[in-house]
Structure formats: C-alpha cells, structure tokens
Amino acid sequence: MEQHNIPDGITFDDVFLVPQYSDITPDETRTSTLLTRNIRLNIPLISAPMDTVTESRLAISLAQEGGIGIIHKNISIDQQALEVEKVKRTENGIISDPITLSPEDTVATAMSLMEQQNVSGFPVTNDGTSRGQVAGILTRRDMKFVESPADHVGEVMTRDNLITGNIDIELKEAEALMTRGRVEKLILVDDKGALAGLVTMRDIENIRQHPMACRDSRGRLRVGAAVGVHQLDRVAALVEAEVDVVIVDTAHGHSSNVLDTIRAIKSAHDIDVIAGNIATEEGAAAIIDAGADAVKVGIGPGSICTTRIISCVGVPQLTAIRNACLAATAAGIPVIADGGIRQSGDIPKAIGFGANAIMLGSLFAGLDESPGELIQHRGRHFKSYRGMGSLGAMGAGSADRYGQGTVEDTRKYVPEGVEGRVPYRGSLSDFVYQMVGGLRAAMGYCGCSTIEELQERARFVRVSSASLVESHAHDIQITKEAPNYQTAATNGE
C-alpha cells in the first residue's frame, strides 16, 4: 500500500487562469477543437448521454451551434438508432439517400414516417426504392385535404409538372431553381429519370442560418451515441444509422470489459470510438492502446454523482485531466473532460489543463431541448435531472454502466447517483452563446487565439477559500440576475 507519497488533487474552484499580454479580442478567437483524432467540433461542447439530457432534439440544436450531442442508451436499440437518424436527416446539403415511398403505400404510412424521421415530404418512385424511377412527390401540402389515411400515396401525390434537377447540381443553382418554381423540395434525377437525390429549401436555409454547425462530409449534422460493454448489436445498429461516433460509456473505463469492447468495435467497424471514464495516466494509456480515438475523463465530479462518497474512489477533476493528458497528448489523442462544470469559466480551466472538449450534463438538462420534465416549484421553473447511477436510471437500463447489469432485483442496486431538479435555463442557443462567450473572454485575457494555444500557454494560480469568496459577487443583494452567472441563491437552492 502506497501511504508515503499521497499527492494533492485540485479541481475547478482551486485555481484561476493568470492574465497575460494579449493583442486579440474575444471576438477574434477561434473555438474549433478536436473531438476525436478524426472529428473536429466548432465549439468544444458535448452533451452527456443521459436520459434527462440528450435525445435528438437537443443533439440537433447543439450540432447547429457547432458542438455535438451524444444520444443516451436507456432506450431500445431501435429507438436509439431512430434518434440518430432524426439528427442525420434534419439538415443536409444534398440528400443522396432520401426516404422514399411507392404509389401503393398508404397516407397513414407517410404520416408515420414524417413523424418518425422529422421530415415533411418524400419522393415517390415506381417501386418505392431510393433509386427507382420518379413517379411524383408527396408533401404535407398534398396531405391537407386527404379524406382517409387509408388512401394510397399515388392518389394524392403531386405527379404533374414536377421540377427536377440534375444529379450534379450545385446548392446555389438548386436554390434558384426552387425559387423560380416556387417549390420547397427539388428532386434530383439521373439521365434515365431515376431518383438520384433531394434538396430542400429548409436545409439550405438552415445551412445559411447555422454557419458554425458541426457537419459531416455530406453536410449533415453530426451526432454520437453511447453503448455499454459488449453491446455489439447496438453498435451495429448505430453504424447502420450512420452515427458519427460511439462512446463506450462506463463508470470505470480502465477495465478489461471496456478494453475488450473497444477492440471489438474497432475490428468490426470503421467508426471513431470514445471510451471512459478514467482518471489516471494508466487508464488513459490502456484505452488508447486498445484503439480508442478519444479519452473521456471523470470519476465522480458530476453534480448528481455520488461515486466518490459511496465508494471512496475518484480523483479531483483538474488533476484527473492532467493525468490523462500525460498519456494522451503524446499519442495525439483528444481528452474530453466530463463533469464538474458549473460556470462558463470552468471550461477554459479544463482546457488549460489539457482537455480538448467539455461534456456537460446538468447545465444542458435545464434547457428547453432536453427531454426532462418541466417542473414548477415555489414560483420558479426547473427541469428534472437524474444521474445515470441513480435508482431510477439504473432501473431503466443503465445498471450495466456501474457493473450491476446482472442484478435482477432492483432493491439490490447500489446507486452511485441521485435524482433531482435543475434550474430552467431557456433555449440552448442562448445558453451556448453565453458559455462560449465566457471561453472567448478567457482566451482574450490570456492572449490565446485558439484552443490549442490555450492548452499550451495557460498559467494558473492556486487560490484560497477567501480568494474564492472575493471572486464572486459580494456585499450586494442581486436584484437582476445575469444570464451567465449562477449562485446557490439564483439557482433556487
């Protein structure tokens, strides 16, 4: 037992960044960073794969702002794959594989697909395949006056005077063609009249509206999804749904089951893998050696996590980040800091200690787009939030994350998390603007124009509890809350 050399551990409230000479302003900084060795984000924010945080709605909004959402796994394989598909089909440049219908399909089928896939229309081909001869197009406008859901698509679709484009059309030309024809969807065909793709005015407008969006090589929004150990059937379904990255999401990533799962995924699929959670140099090295494309750090820092108290295991988060970077930086593998972020100023601290990107749970849980329940309590609005190690979440499917997947009697669970509520924070777009604004301010103070410069040049000072008190608003009763500053009082605690 190593008793004679017990190191100190530090976390966010223990340090501040030291200001340095700067010739840049916050609006001149660039916040692009690596998520994995192959995927780049435009802002260093990731939403946690938790069942009160990330489903398709939040993942779509976050990707539009430049980050990425990770769909949780407390749902069936089919449902998780569907959530991924919803994100991938929300915005496209040119849709090369549009969902199609045949003239013999019913309107009820079309309505169900519209709801499932979050789309507003379909090309119709003679045989219903994505490469069949174009027969028409079905949109919500065509369905407004349908008498019965049992009617066939061929009876209500638009088939005459179809406006189509060539397979090699540019987006600008497609927009001009739709504008002249006063249509919102342009079917692309090859020289034989077979379906070759689809362009929608909504996608073009979204691309223009969200220039910072995180997109894949085909112009679609990026999205990730969580899997447990040995869940190769879930991985296969997610890959089929064209997920961009999978996270092997466990409470203890430095374990044989996790390492074996990483190897199995990498040998079976050409997909980037993030794995965790770990808190040591040895844990990071093991995950990297197994083939992971990014390392996720955090044993117990989350607001709803009780792992450190229940099991007495954990490492303060900034020290854990530094530990992981000792192995990851030399290997060229990005590090993701997962947990413990309470203010925007914690983000540059994590980056200064070496993290490439930040995963948020509780802060995203309070947003409009999260799947948690909206609650009113004592005149204030909150949203429900629970740890994936809480009894409720474990009963819903996350017990394997904590090595308790074989426990049949839910009364025998040993939870490592709690359930509660967090302050309602409004829309994701406004919230992310403030969080990234805090990061940009830090970069300006430190004279760093990029995330990489902040990682290399950050200097820190240790602070006392008195210094921390001095740093917060003090000797005043706050009468008007700021959108980017929370205390126990403003949180309704």
Give the chain's radius of gyration (CA, Å). 24
Q: Domains plus CATH for the chain?
A: 12-89+213-471 (3.20.20.70), 107-209 (3.10.580.10)
CA 287 to chain CA centroid, nearest Å: 21
215-240 burial code (b ≥16 CB/10 A, e <16): bbeeebbbbbbbbbbbbeebbebbbe
pLDDT tens digits, one per residue of 292-338: 999 999 999 988 888 898 899 999 999 999 999 999 999 999 999 99
pTM of the model: 0.87
* Tokens representing residue 390 in the block: 């809480």
CA atoms within 13 A on the CB side of 191: 0
How far is residue 122 from each of residues 171, 187, 189, 191, 456, measured CA to CA in Å? 19, 9, 14, 21, 50
pLDDT of residue 313: 94
DSSP alpha helix (H) spans, 15-132: 56-65, 77-88, 107-117
User: Among this protein's residues, is 214 annotated catalytic?
Assistant: no
Sign of CA dihedral 287, 290, 294, 296: negative
Helix (H) or strand (E) holding 439: helix 428-446
pLDDT of residue 478: 86
From the first residue on, what is the mean pLDDT of each consecutive set of 10 residues in the chain (493 residues)? 79 98 97 99 98 97 98 97 94 85 92 85 91 91 84 88 88 91 91 90 89 93 98 98 98 97 98 98 98 98 89 95 97 98 98 98 96 90 86 70 61 75 95 98 98 98 91 85 74 54
Residue-by-residue DSSP string for 130-162: TTSBEEEEEEHHHHTT-S-TTSBHHHHSB-SS-
Residue-by-residue DSSP string for 365-412: HTBTTSSSPEEEETTEEEEEEE-TTSHHHIIIIIGGGGT-TT---GGG
* Tokens representing residue 369 in the block: 């787009």
pLDDT of residue 406: 63
pLDDT of residue 409: 57
The residue assigned the tokens 């009617």 is 151
The whole-angstrom separation of Cα 334 and Cα 317 is: 16
Catalytic residue, candidates 214, 215, 305, 386: 305
Q: With beta carbons less than 8 A apart as the criterion, state whether 313 and 299 touch.
A: yes
pLDDT of residue 490: 54
pLDDT of residue 96: 83
Kindly provide the residue ranges of all beta strands, DSSP E only, lying in 150-211, ordered along the sequence. 164-166, 185-189, 195-200
The whole-angstrom separation of Cα 244 and Cα 361 is: 20
Pairing relation of β-strands 374-377 and 380-386? antiparallel
User: Among this protein's residues, is 401 annotated catalytic?
Assistant: yes
DSSP 426: B
Catalytic residue, candidates 222, 401, 421, 440: 401
